[in-house]
Structure 1
């Protein structure tokens, strides 16, 4: 079974088993909904711990969560620096032209003229639109905005993205 990152547990919060999470998901409300199933992957590489969300609230830049059966500080202290993940079976279907990060990262980017530009290595959230870091075989990383004028076709099944290379985009 495949697992996908949802967030990083950075600390505990209070004494009642709450954890602080820096989220890496665009679907925090869905992922942290009461009853949602997640897995905690500790840094030591031990077997993942399956948990169910008991509560969720926002606090400053964090998502604060509690899990069923983990009601005290001492129960959750061991989760610090662990990664929260969701299984592929719990991923929901997306709208047209929406993609999960794992579907985009690793895709080969090709110009409309057929020239290979590189592979997507990272997705950067800017607030206005996502920007895809594309690493060519040689040379510096290109930053491609995920906007309609540039990205013409995304084929996640074949891991291929076709873009219109606007003036100055690859310089």
Structure 2
């Protein structure tokens, strides 16, 4: 399985380094020297990481064969893609790869169907599940412990306890009336 782990930004300096927008929780594993990454557009790669360092809070990488600013700038906006074993799990028990969460059924604690996860949006403050409802509408569910109470990969479902108004007013009223009983 292929996962996007970064996006190349602007050139840094004159020796071929580039800034990288990290899109993985495991940059030390996915973006380490020696890693060979596929690219989008594919014609640019594959790229082999020669060196990496953090400078002023930004990841800087240099790729084999990229020796000057012009060559580095030509890589701008290229996506970096790592091959990952689909059975591989993140290091922490409450962490998940996007591909594990995609297409999970989203249900309330009582089993009421809300919809299916069609996208995961990575925002600066938190991740969001984009959930397609049975009627075709979409709802955004913050992926935080107070709302997503359980991820069950075996049953292929995410159990949520939404606050009033998150799903829609009628379901929020039903959920709050259940809490009162």
Pick the TM interval, shorter chain: 0.7 to 0.9
Match of 1:103 in 2: 100
SS at match of 2:100: helix
How high is the TM-score relative to the length of structure 2?
0.74
RMSD of the alignment, in Å? 2.7
Question: CA–CA distance in 2 between the matches of 1:162 and 1:146?
Answer: 11
**Structure 1 alignment gaps of length 5 or more:** none
- Is the CA contact (8 Å cut-off) linking 2:90 and 2:97 kept in structure 1? no
* Residue 80 of structure 2, aligned match among 84, 90, 98: 84
How high is the TM-score relative to the length of structure 1?
0.78
Question: CA–CA distance in 2 between the matches of 1:92 and 1:161?
Answer: 17
SS at match of 2:66: coil
Question: CA–CA distance in 1 between the matches of 2:16 and 2:156?
Answer: 41
Question: CA–CA distance in 1 between the matches of 2:123 and 2:109?
Answer: 25
Question: CA–CA distance in 1 between the matches of 2:78 and 2:110?
Answer: 44
Bigger radius of gyration: 2
**Greater share of helix:** 2
**Structure 2 alignment gaps of length 5 or more:** 169-181
Q: Where in structure 2 are the equivalents of 1:39-58 lying within 5 Å?
A: 39-42=38-41, 45-46=42-43, 49-58=45-54
Question: CA–CA distance in 1 between the matches of 2:161 and 2:61?
Answer: 42
Match of 1:155 in 2: 152
Match of 1:71 in 2: 67
Match of 2:18 in 1: 19
Q: When the two structures are aligned, how many residues end up with a matched partner?
A: 166
Measured against aligned partners, the alpha-carbon deviations of 1:112-132 in whole angstroms (never above 9, x if no partner) come to: 2222212222233343x4332
Measured against aligned partners, the alpha-carbon deviations of 1:93-135 in whole angstroms (never above 9, x if no partner) come to: 43212101222233221112222212222233343x4332323
Question: CA–CA distance in 1 between the matches of 2:28 and 2:40?
Answer: 21
- Is the CA contact (8 Å cut-off) linking 1:22 and 1:61 kept in structure 2? no
- More relative contact order, 1 or 2 (CA 8 Å, 6+ apart): 1
Question: CA–CA distance in 2 between the matches of 1:68 and 1:116?
Answer: 50
